[in-house]
A and B are shown apart, each in its own frame.
Chain A
Amino acid sequence: MTDLDLSRAWLVDPSSGREGPGEIVVTDGILEAVTWLDGEDAAGIDATGVVVAPGFIDLHAHHREPGNEDAETIASGLAAAAHGGFTTVCAMPNTTPALDEPGVLAAMHAAAIVSGSPVELLAHGAVTVRREGETLAALGELADAGVVGFTDDGAPVRSPAILRNALAYAGALGLPVVDHPEDANLTEGAEANDGLIATVLGLRGWPVAAEEAAVGRDLAILADVVRDVPGARLHLTHVSTAASLRLIRAAKTMGLPVTCDVTPHHLALTDEWVAGARRWAWEASGDPWSDDVVIAAAYDSAMRVNPPLRCPEDAVACLAALADGTADAIATDHAPHSEVDKAVEFGAAANGISGIETALGLVLSAVDGGQLTLLRGIEALTSGPASIVGTRSRRAGSVGLVEGASADIVIFDRAEAWTVSSEILMSRGKNTPLAGMRLPGRVLLTIAGGRIAYEAPEA
């Protein structure tokens, strides 16, 4: 258990809606004191230096264990999480075998214990057996074993009837169905966002309509189920388009129990990056083919992800959705891949970005770019996810800088940037579009459950 005394830092506590100069004291793993400073004591402390926030919660991460440990193990995944400032991670069930019955979950928990990491590992169970979309998995048994939700991610729940039944059944269990909204018929062979970039680069387009149609379908089914199962809940993960967010916003206004998350890469990166641009979504304007925009090689397979990187307007819409609450949370969709699966032609490369370690950097870049407030950004990484799965976490009810609770905090320095590289990344997946780039907000210390999960080496 850890002791820590940190004075003169900028505290961010979304649970109380408060941020400002302060001090924290951790004694024997408990967050003993959280002191807000004002007047003279607060002089000289601002949000540009050391920041303390509650440990982040990731709703959506892929640990490839069991089955594909080349790309990631639970141990490396939790280490990467801690490096990114996350103290709770929800693993996705697309392992081999899939997490469609409690035995697999037990194996994953055992691996987490063996790793020695204090980061909390939660998991989603599959909606259907082997994620094949045909028959419902053992939802009740999985719920008893402690899953936080049900999803067939990286695939959508293809059958509307199955989705309907899953929503109803899971609703009675008090757990959400998490859908990856994609109409697979419209995305067959698709490689990049259907737009100007894909047209010029000769890549098969991934239409916005494929996500929007799936979101529309899911919302219609949810509206139907809610009539006889009021506890039914739908969570839409990695929403990436303005069109989808418009539908979700309208559904929420009507009172439908739907929530959604957006990924850091869909906030900051765009399909221009496939052509070799390296400017943030909010900086994009004019002709992407002008000389000073394209600065890297085109067709970098690190850009290949599902859903694809979208056009700047969509990314900006995701940022606006976070600001107005339409998007409830930021989830990383951390998808590590081995080099074998990525060092191939663009169209043949596996989809996915290894993103849990760069999430904070991208969120802070958006804050620096005036697209998001620091408080809202941190909230989307903490209280937001907690509102969706928090009851199943050991941190239930205390996600925040809460005196007396077990310490789950992250300390980062906004004045210190760091360079993304294979050596620095702790995940086995080095597939990041940000290789070689500098990101703000180097993580100094991550404490999970009162124990140190990550400590930055002395520079």
Chain B
Amino acid sequence: MTDVLEGDATTDVVIPTIAASKEGQPVGWRHRHLLDVDDLTMADLDLVMRTTDAMTEVLGRPIARVPALRGRTVTILFYEASTRTRVSFEVAAKNLSADVVNIAASTSSVTKGESLVDTIRTVEALGAQMLVLRHHVSGAPYLAADTFGGSVLNAGDGWHAHPTQALLDLFTMRSRLAGGALNGLRGRKVVILGDVLHSRVARSNIWALTTAGVDLWLCGPSTLLHGFDAWARSAAIGGRRITVTSEVAVALRDADVVMALRIQRERMASGLLPSLREYAARYGLTAERLSLAAPGALVMHPGPMNEGVEIASDVAAGAQSVITDQVANGVAVRMALLYLLAGAPGAGAAAPAS
């Protein structure tokens, strides 16, 4: 038997108010696809955050499952190997009671030269209503969205975007820094440190964080920041705050969040960096560098990590690290997005009524 709460005062349960838009209408989700975070407004971000709160509550239950997507088929199509993200999406879909089809491109006819368009048509003919796509070429999800009749959720395309990562990063910061209120992130200093040029995590975070009013800094070797100065200047026109610098000390000073990005061996091979050793020495996030940031600053990393290169082991495992939070929040955020996309106007065939 579970606890019997006799004698307690009536539990003070929260009756939340429904956030109203300016017109007095409740705010809904209107996007059929989630390809990038660049066109999500502050209201959209807030809705995703609050939906994720609800999913977090679901994940805390003894049976962490709701029937919201029962009867829906979610197809996960990954052209790039990634166990952690693929599994995260699969768990999210299953927690919503969806049927999941998981396709890893290396095992499918894709390697025989089947085009992306053909693969998507086949997958749709076999009943897919929602497509979670990861691809190594920037822009592939846009081609998918053009071809596929249901909803497309971009799980990462080339260097371009990784919307679910940016949203789970935002959720993590909102929980740990802003007491659960998205507005609390306004004006906070967040630093993205590392290979910004090749990072879809960086690009999506740039959009999400600047929409939320963050004071965003991008820092790394100049070869890996190529082109971002122009973006910072263009962003300023729209009121977004981005500062680009190669000086680590300046970037980290008083930062509230430091997000380290993975540096890959291939960058040396293409001549962009002399060596990983030199990168680690000049840009690695060590405890000493972290001490330049604000006390209690959050340490984040999208994973997988190269410990000892972009981030020191003690920092990755240290008290300020919220890296494991990020992974846990990933499932909740993905559940929220699958749920919102399933109900979006124009999204595939409606689930059969129970």
Contact = CB atoms under 8 A, between A and B. Distances in A.
B230 interface: yes
Nearest to A300: B142
Interface in A140-155: none
Contacts of A194: 227
Contacts of B135: 345
A36 B44 CA distance: 65
A196 B115 contact: no
A202 B237 contact: no
A6 to B, nearest CB: 45
B240 to A, nearest CB: 10
Interface string B192-225: 0000000010010000000000000000000000
B279 interface: no
Interface in B159-174: 159-161
Given A198-B227, A202-B200, A298 B234 contact: no
Given A200-B203, A286-B237, A289-B38, A345 B140 contact: yes
Contacts of A344: 115-117, 143
Contact of B203 (A202, A346, A348): A202
B302 interface: no
Contacts of A286: 237
Contact of B160 (A195, A201, A340): A201
Contact of A299 (B117, B139, B228, B231): B139
Nearest to B197: A199
B234 A289 contact: yes
A202 B117 contact: no
A344 B231 CA distance: 28
Contacts of B115: 340, 343-344
A231 interface: no
Contacts of A289: 38, 234, 238
Contacts of B137: 345-348
Interface string B100-144: 000000000000000111000000000000000001011110110
A133 interface: no
Nearest to B160: A202
Interface residues of B, number: 28
Contacts, number: 80
Given A196-B227, A290-B238, A346-B138, A202 B143 contact: no
Contacts of B230: 195-196, 199
A425 B223 CA distance: 44
A108 to B, nearest CB: 31
Interface in A21-54: none
Contacts of A340: 115
Contact of B227 (A199, A287, A301, A345): A199
A297 B139 CA distance: 10
Interface string A299-312: 10100000000000
Chain A interface SS verdict (over half): loop
A287 B140 contact: no
Contact of B142 (A287, A297, A348): A297
Counting chain A CB atoms within 10 Å of each CB, the highest count among B138, B145, B160, B227 belongs to B138
A43 to B, nearest CB: 50
Counting chain B CB atoms within 10 Å of each CB, the highest count among A198, A202, A287 belongs to A202
B146 interface: yes
Counting chain B CB atoms within 10 Å of each CB, the highest count among A200, A286, A289, A290 belongs to A200
Contacts of A298: 139, 142
A125 interface: no
Contacts of B238: 287, 289-290
A299 B144 CA distance: 11
A205 B237 CA distance: 23
A344 B135 CA distance: 12
A136 to B, nearest CB: 33
B341 to A, nearest CB: 18
Nearest to B36: A298
Contact of A347 (B158, B227, B228, B231): B158
A160 to B, nearest CB: 23
Contacts of B116: 344-345
B310 interface: no
A186 B115 CA distance: 29
Interface of A: 191, 194-196, 198-205, 286-290, 297-299, 301, 340, 343-348
23 contacts: A195-B230, A196-B227, A196-B231, A200-B231, A201-B138, A201-B139, A201-B160, A202-B203, A203-B159, A203-B160, A204-B159, A286-B237, A287-B234, A287-B237, A289-B38, A290-B238, A298-B139, A343-B115, A343-B143, A344-B117, A345-B116, A346-B138, A346-B140
